[in-house]
Structure formats: structure tokens, C-alpha cells
Structure 1
């Protein structure tokens, strides 16, 4: 096994062991709660405050532990694959907490959907990373590392990990509501399922088309031939970021579950996530325009193609002016 294989195995081991503190603590809490002995204050607090406990576990296990691992490795790569896993951990936590109450079928459907979403996103992450663990960190983190210089070691704790807690706990609020409100199944559940499934399907096809495009360009580079500057086929013909659109459909589909159960406030997490993704969209497009070989083609793409919501192409501005 070469150095790359050893590093890959080491990172995989670290990543798989990383959530164990939270998992073991929660199992211990359940054992204490269901034991015949009198509950201690900590057990009682964990029982009465499931949402606060989720945040506490996230803070100590993800924010602190993952941050320390990132400092040691000089790479905050681990939060990316765990973005796909944390909602799965949360939905099982909410469904097994002693205070949980829910419609069994709604719970099963939401858990299944969350697993399908997670498998799709996990597959896309590792496919993009050539099935390597920790080969690189998110390019946005690398840019911030250069931007903040010697202060990055502490800024990263807030910029990467505390912010992820806000986003992940926020967008997963419907998973909490589904397992804290017991109401009969109704038509809106089918609407929520349809939106969630559409989001997963759109994101899968968009990411697959993007992966195939990048792979073809890599082969062209190896052959010394010019690369295609811009992806403008499939779903990308109708939207500049169909993968983002699909991901947003997924989260807003979960909001419908929460709204249907009388908890419209669960939209806060999806709204904050959408606003953040809008900012990320600006960063991604600015990065495209800074690449000389694709800047011209991408400007034309911006003029003719919808940002998120798939729609028919419009005429370039120059063509409109010429025909007017």
C-alpha cells in the first residue's frame, strides 16, 4: 500500500470513529433512562430537552472535535462528507428519543427519504473525490485560509463549524417536528413526498451530468486537446445550477412536512440555507469568470440561462438590442 493508500485508510478510520462520542453518550443516556434506578439530573435534562441535547452533542462532537482534527491535519475536509450523514443521525436520534411521538408511517417515510437523500449525496461526494477520504478540503475553506492567514486557526471554528451547526440543525428542524407531533396522515404528506423525491432526482441527474462533463474534460486534457469551456447540456441547458435547485427542493419538501403538522416556523432553517446558497452561487460564478478559458462562454451562459429554477433560454442581450 502506497502513501496515498495509507493516508486514505487513516482518514477513513478517523472519519468513521469521529461520531462515536455522541453515539455512545446517547446509548448511555437511553440505558440510564430506561433502567429501574432513579434518574440523575443529567439524564433528566437530556430527557426533557431533546432539541437542546442535539445541539449540545453537535457542539462538542462536531464543532470541537472535528475542528481539532482539522487543525491537526491542516485540512477541514471532514465536515463535507458529514454534511450528508448528520441528517441521518439526527432523524434516528429524534425518532428514538424517549419523548418522541409521531405517526408511524410518516416517520418511516421521512427516515427512508433521508437515507435516500444521504446515499445520493454521499455517492456524489466520493465519486467527485475519486473515492478518497480527505484528499482535499472545500475550495471555499482553502480560499478563507489564505484570506485570514495566521488567524485562520480560530476563525475556522466559527466560519466552518459553528455555521454548519446553524445550517444543519436548522434545515433538519422538520425531522424533529415529524417525531414530536402525532397527527394522522393526509394529502399534504403526499405533496411533501413528491417535492422531496423531485429534489433528489433533479440533484442526482444534475450532479451526474456535471461529473460526466468534468470527466470528459479531464480526458481531453490528457490527450492535449482543448477542453469544453462550459456545461450547457441536459438540465444545465435550463438552469446554471440545477444541482442547487434540486437540493433546495429537498429541504423545502421537508418544510412541507413541518408546515403540515402546524409548525410553519421550520421554514427558518431552509430559508437561511437558501440565502447562504445564493451567496455560494455568487462565489461559484465569480470563480468561473476568473478562469480565462471559460469567462466569455460563461458570461453568455449567464445572459441566456436561468440561475436556479429551470426555464427556457432567453436571447443574449446583444441579439435583443440588434433586433429591437
Structure 2
């Protein structure tokens, strides 16, 4: 099963990759039978990217999920698609950019993707498609027999909105050629801080979960709550680090005149705020940790790292 899922994962994006490379090799051939299509692809790089995403990811991945009765692959490809997009925008014939800024953004995107992909496989015990995200499983139970078509919108089409929203800076970076300035350095620092912070938080969470699994196997009482390291100052430091990364990336786009580029990061932040509420409700359904987690909620900031409060005077933070 793992080998089959790995094979499917590697083959799934090939239609878009093959088409795009064929376009790059023939777009200057005006006598080609597809010259009209090549001209359209030349003039509309962002629309082309969305079209390929819709056909290959929304439709293609959705059909695969119906055949496998699992939406596991979209979780994995969340970490891969930004890498594909940054190279797509950089190689497009209409691309225009500062080489150094492009190199910085490409490297940052790769580092972010490697970190998140490593965390995905570490969490899944290095298995391909062992399970789908628990939120999709809950949604499937909620929608019952209608889930087969609801999943197209609730799992795949919505991902296009989020991913292209947060990846808009990658397009702007490769469509504007301006010299580097202080804001590029600030964006770089913010992105690196976000990646490192999220990595440390996820590593601490992984160690905590692994230790609890070991205690459970030994028949011992599990630790009800992680309240150490970065988790001492925030209930979701991994989410905070992830958002810092996306907002740092948005600074690159804003610096090049894309004043609207923060919309993507904002939408993603609002979505993650909603996810935070789902995660905390799930935590409170586990009897062995209810009391400890309720106290944790009272004394610890939701996202932004902050000092502990031993009273109920801590300002309430909205989860959504």
C-alpha cells in the first residue's frame, strides 16, 4: 500500500508538469498548430497556473480520493505545490525579476517545504498515505452520503483559494524587477524566524506525542498536556511560526508594489484560527486531559508567545 501511494503521489502532478514543459519548449514556434494556445499561456501566467491547478489538483486529486476513499494526498501536496509554483513563475516566458531576490525566495520556499514535508512524514511514521487528516474524516461523517461531491469543494477547491492566496508573493517577485532594499532583508528575517520557530515547536510536539505513545504501550498514565518549551508561552506555537512565514513572504510582494498581497496571508490566518478552535474542541473531548487543558487555556496565550498568567486576568483571545 505504501509503495502504491508513493507511486501515485509522484505521478499525480505529471500532467501539469509535462504540459508546462512542452509549452516552454514550443511557445516561440508561431507555426505550431497550438500557437494560439501558446499565446494565451504567454499572456496569462496566473490564469494558466490556476487552470492547471483546477484540472490537475481539484479534479485529478479529487478523482483519486474517490477511488481510494481517502483525501490523504492533498495534505502532502500542501508542502509541494508552493515549490512547483515558485519554479513555474520563475521559468515562465513573461517572468521579469531581480535575480538575487528570486534566488532568496526560491531557497526560502524550498527550506519551508522541506521542513513541513519532514514534519508530515515524521508525524505519519514515514508512511505514504497511512491516513487522511482527521478533519476530513470528521467532515465525511458529518455529510454522510453527500461527502463524495462535497469533498470536491470542501477539500480541493478551497485549497486553491488558500494556496494561491498565500503564494501570490511568489508571482509578484517574478513579475517585477526592482533592486533589493531594506524590506527584502526584513522579509528574509521574518521568513527565517517563522520557519525556525515552527520547526522547534513541531519537534517539541513530536517528542511529546512519541513519549505519550510509549507510556500508553507500557500501560502507564499519559502526560495530559504539553506545557514546556515554546508550548509554555503559546498553546499553538507551530501555527504561530507558520503564519509568521507566510506574512514574511507577503512582505516580499508588498515591497514590490503589491499592497493587496496581504489578503492571502490574512485569509490563511483566519482559516487557521478556525482550525485552532477545532483542535481545541478535540483536545477537550479526551477525558484524561480535560482539566489540564482547560487550565492551560486560562493561563496560556493562543498563538502569540506571551507570559504565563496565574489568574483569570489574562485577556481573552479569540480563536476565530
Same fold (TM over 0.5): yes
Within-5 A mapping of 1:262-281 = 262-281=257-276
Of 169, 192, 203, which residue of structure 2 is paired with 1:197? 192
Of 26, 29, 33, which residue of structure 2 is paired with 1:35? 29
Shift of 1:36: 6.1
Q: Where in structure 1 are there 5+ consecutive unaligned residues?
A: 1-6, 320-324
Aligned position for 2:17: 23
Contact 2:101–2:180 (Cα < 8 Å) also in 1: yes
Contact 1:255–1:264 (Cα < 8 Å) also in 2: no
Aligned position for 2:178: 183
Shift of 1:264: 1.4
Aligned position for 2:235: 240
- Report the TM-score, using the length of structure 1 for normalisation: 0.95
Within-5 A mapping of 1:1-324 = 7-35=1-29, 37=31, 40-317=35-312
Q: Helix, strand or coil for the counterpart of 2:288?
A: coil
RMSD: 1.2
Q: Where in structure 2 are there 5+ consecutive unaligned residues?
A: 315-320
Q: Helix, strand or coil for the counterpart of 1:232?
A: coil
- Report the TM-score, using the length of structure 2 for normalisation: 0.96
Q: Deviations over 1:56-105 (max 9, x none)?
A: 00000000010000000000100001000000000000000000000000
Q: Could you tell me how far apart the structure 2 residues matched to 1:177 and 1:284 are?
A: 34
Contact 1:209–1:234 (Cα < 8 Å) also in 2: yes
Q: Deviations over 1:11-66 (max 9, x none)?
A: 00000000000000001111111336356211111110000000000000000010
Segments of 4+ moved more than 4 angstroms:
none
Q: Could you tell me how far apart the structure 2 residues matched to 1:95 and 1:9 are?
A: 32
Q: Helix, strand or coil for the counterpart of 1:78?
A: helix
Q: Could you tell me how far apart the structure 2 residues matched to 1:317 and 1:246 are?
A: 26
Contact 1:67–1:157 (Cα < 8 Å) also in 2: yes
